[in-house]
Protein backbone atom coordinates (compact mmCIF):
# COMPACT_ATOMS: atom_id res chain seq x y z
CA UNK A 1 0.00 0.00 0.00
CA UNK A 2 1.20 3.48 -0.76
CA UNK A 3 0.86 6.43 1.61
CA UNK A 4 -2.43 7.71 0.16
CA UNK A 5 -3.98 4.26 0.40
CA UNK A 6 -2.84 3.88 4.02
CA UNK A 7 -4.29 7.29 4.90
CA UNK A 8 -7.59 6.38 3.23
CA UNK A 9 -7.92 3.12 5.16
CA UNK A 10 -7.04 4.85 8.43
CA UNK A 11 -9.75 7.52 7.84
CA UNK A 12 -12.23 4.82 6.81
CA UNK A 13 -11.51 2.85 9.98
CA UNK A 14 -11.91 5.92 12.16
CA UNK A 15 -15.26 6.67 10.53
CA UNK A 16 -16.52 3.11 10.99
CA UNK A 17 -15.45 3.08 14.65
CA UNK A 18 -17.08 6.49 15.24
CA UNK A 19 -20.37 5.44 13.65
CA UNK A 20 -20.36 2.17 15.60
CA UNK A 21 -19.66 3.90 18.89
CA UNK A 22 -22.33 6.56 18.24
CA UNK A 23 -24.85 3.74 17.98
CA UNK A 24 -23.35 2.22 21.15
CA UNK A 25 -22.53 -1.08 19.48
CA UNK A 26 -19.83 -3.14 21.17
CA UNK A 27 -17.19 -4.25 18.69
CA UNK A 28 -17.54 -8.00 19.23
CA UNK A 29 -21.35 -8.00 19.05
CA UNK A 30 -21.36 -5.70 16.03
CA UNK A 31 -18.91 -7.94 14.17
CA UNK A 32 -21.08 -10.96 14.97
CA UNK A 33 -24.23 -9.17 13.79
CA UNK A 34 -22.49 -8.20 10.53
CA UNK A 35 -21.23 -11.75 10.02
CA UNK A 36 -17.58 -10.72 10.04
CA UNK A 37 -14.81 -11.63 12.45
CA UNK A 38 -14.07 -9.41 15.44
CA UNK A 39 -10.38 -9.42 14.53
CA UNK A 40 -11.28 -8.44 10.98
CA UNK A 41 -13.39 -5.53 12.27
CA UNK A 42 -10.54 -4.48 14.57
CA UNK A 43 -8.11 -4.51 11.63
CA UNK A 44 -10.52 -2.42 9.52
CA UNK A 45 -11.14 0.09 12.31
CA UNK A 46 -7.39 0.35 12.86
CA UNK A 47 -6.77 1.02 9.17
CA UNK A 48 -4.50 -2.01 8.93
CA UNK A 49 -6.29 -3.81 6.12
CA UNK A 50 -7.99 -3.29 2.78
CA UNK A 51 -11.54 -4.55 3.35
CA UNK A 52 -13.43 -6.29 0.58
CA UNK A 53 -16.51 -4.61 -0.87
CA UNK A 54 -18.80 -7.31 0.55
CA UNK A 55 -17.39 -6.66 4.03
CA UNK A 56 -17.97 -2.92 3.66
CA UNK A 57 -21.52 -3.61 2.50
CA UNK A 58 -22.15 -5.70 5.63
CA UNK A 59 -20.73 -2.95 7.85
CA UNK A 60 -22.77 -0.25 6.12
CA UNK A 61 -25.93 -2.33 6.52
CA UNK A 62 -25.13 -2.96 10.18
CA UNK A 63 -24.66 0.79 10.73
CA UNK A 64 -27.80 1.57 8.72
CA UNK A 65 -25.92 3.84 6.29
CA UNK A 66 -25.37 3.64 2.56
CA UNK A 67 -22.09 2.34 1.22
CA UNK A 68 -21.49 5.75 -0.38
CA UNK A 69 -21.99 7.48 2.98
CA UNK A 70 -19.60 5.05 4.59
CA UNK A 71 -16.93 5.71 1.96
CA UNK A 72 -17.42 9.50 1.99
CA UNK A 73 -14.51 10.31 4.28
CA UNK A 74 -13.13 13.46 2.70
CA UNK A 75 -9.44 14.22 2.39
Q: What is the CATH number of domain 3-70?
A: 1.10.260.40
- Give the pLDDT of residue 73: 84
Residue among 58, 64, 70, 7 nearest 31 (CA): 58
pLDDT tens sequence across 39-75? 999 999 999 999 999 999 999 999 999 999 999 987 6
Q: Where are the domains of the chain?
A: 3-70
Three-state SS for 46? coil
Residue 36: CA count within 13 A, CB half-sphere? 24
Span 9-44, pLDDT tens digits: 999 999 999 999 999 999 999 999 999 999 999 999
Amino acid sequence: MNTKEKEFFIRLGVKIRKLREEKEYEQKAFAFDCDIGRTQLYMIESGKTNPRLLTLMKIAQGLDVSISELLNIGK
